[in-house]
Amino acid sequence: MPRPKRADEANGIYHALNRGNARSKIFKKIADYEAFEQILAEGIERYACRILSYQLMPNHWHFVLQPTENGGMSNFLRWVTLTHTQRYHAHNGTSGEGHVYQGRFKSFPIQDDDHFYVASRYVERNALQAELIDRAENWRWGSLWRWLSSPEPAPKLLSPWPLARQANWVDRVNEPLSDKELKSVRWSVKRGSPFGDETWVESTARRLDLESTLRPRGRPRVRNLPARTNKDS
């Protein structure tokens, strides 16, 4: 089966994620998180991509990104993933013992309206959703903690948002997403389909050749045909 197409346009907004191979941990100690954030800092110096929101979890990561040139997100995350894999194996002495990541990263475009806030809340409350902490801002390895730690500690990773941050943002992040919001985000995570209102999703999928992400997977259902008779034989 061919890989689905990936949208990666200059100034678009995207949610990107990847997981450890077989959901194995990719961050096992504080130094692992710190080393990865250093890789991110090197990556944004090399490639045309801005980090708007992110969260590093023990066995996966989420980003909300904005490339500033076509292909900027792919170039950034391809380099980050490869560099992390090489340094991970070198540090742990595991070269030749298998993959660190399950595969290439997944991503989908986000509409620059309230859907951007929903996606950012989803990312910044990931550790809270997993019950690793009791408040979203207490997770050290993410953009909410960094944003509150003014000035941002080194290495500097975050870029200004394309939309003004909502009032009482920390409280908003700590509020659970509605069932509808959570279902919509998870559908886009699973399928790589655009995340936005219906009209925007359809037009974006058509323009970026992502229409296959909107259709259910699997073979089309075969309708029951009338039984063949001897005459039909």
- On whether residue 158 sits in a domain, the answer given is yes
Domains identified in the chain, total number:
1
The answer to the question of residue 215 being in a domain is no
Determine the Cα–Cα distance for residues 225 and 209; give it in Å rounded to an integer: 34
Domain hosting 79: range is 14-206
> Which percentage of the chain shows pLDDT scores above 90?
85
Q: How does pLDDT run across 74-94, given as a tens digit for each residue? A: 999 999 999 999 999 999 888
Q: Are residues 108 and 193 in contact, defined by beta-carbon separation less than 8 angstroms?
A: yes
Mean pLDDT (whole number) for 111-127: 98
Band (5; pLDDT cuts 50, 70, 90): low
At 217-228, the pLDDT tens digits run 655 444 444 444
Query: In the β-sheet with 106-109, what is the strand arrangement from edge to edge?
Result: 49-57, 60-67, 14-19, 106-109
Asked if residue 192 has pLDDT above 90, the reply is yes
How many Å apart are CA 228 and CA 231, to the nearest integer?
A: 8
219 within a domain of the structure (yes/no): no
Question: For the chain, what's the residue count?
Answer: 233
pLDDT at residue 198 tops 70: yes
What pTM was computed for the model? 0.89
pLDDT > 70: what percent of the chain?
A: 91
pLDDT of 229 strictly over 60: no
Q: Does 155 sit behind a cis peptide bond, omega within 30 degrees of 0 on the bond before it?
A: yes
Helix (H) or strand (E) holding 50: strand 49-57
Phi, psi of 18 (to 5 degrees): -155, 160
- Residue 100 CB coordination number (10 Å): 20
Q: Does 151 sit behind a cis peptide bond, omega within 30 degrees of 0 on the bond before it?
A: yes
Quote the DSSP letter at residue 48. S
**Residue 231 falls within a domain, yes or no?**
no
Kindly report the CATH number assigned to the domain that includes residue 114.
Answer: 3.30.70.1290
Is residue 225 included in any domain, yes or no? no
- Check residues 95 and 4 and name the one with the higher pLDDT: 95
Question: Tell me, what's the pLDDT at 86?
Answer: 95
115-139 average pLDDT score: 98
**Phi and psi dihedrals of 161, rounded to 5?**
-75, 150
The dihedral sign for the CA sequence 185, 174, 22, 95: positive
Q: Is 98 left (phi over 0), alpha (psi -120 to 50) or beta?
A: left
Model confidence band, residue 215 (pLDDT cutoffs 50, 70, 90) = confident
The answer as to whether 172 is a domain residue is yes
In the beta sheet, which residues pair with residue 54? 63
Q: Is 6 part of any domain?
A: no
Average pLDDT over residues 99-111: 95
Q: Which of 194, 33, 183 is nearest to 111 (CA)?
A: 194
Does residue 3 form part of some domain?
no
Average of per-residue pLDDT across 22-26: 93
Residue indicated by tokens 């001897």? 230
Question: Given a cut of 70, is residue 232 above it in pLDDT?
Answer: no
106 beta partners: 17
**Region 29-35: what's the mean pLDDT?**
97
**Average pLDDT, stretch 157-177?**
97
Question: Is the pLDDT assigned to residue 97 strictly greater than 80?
Answer: no
pLDDT at 1: 44
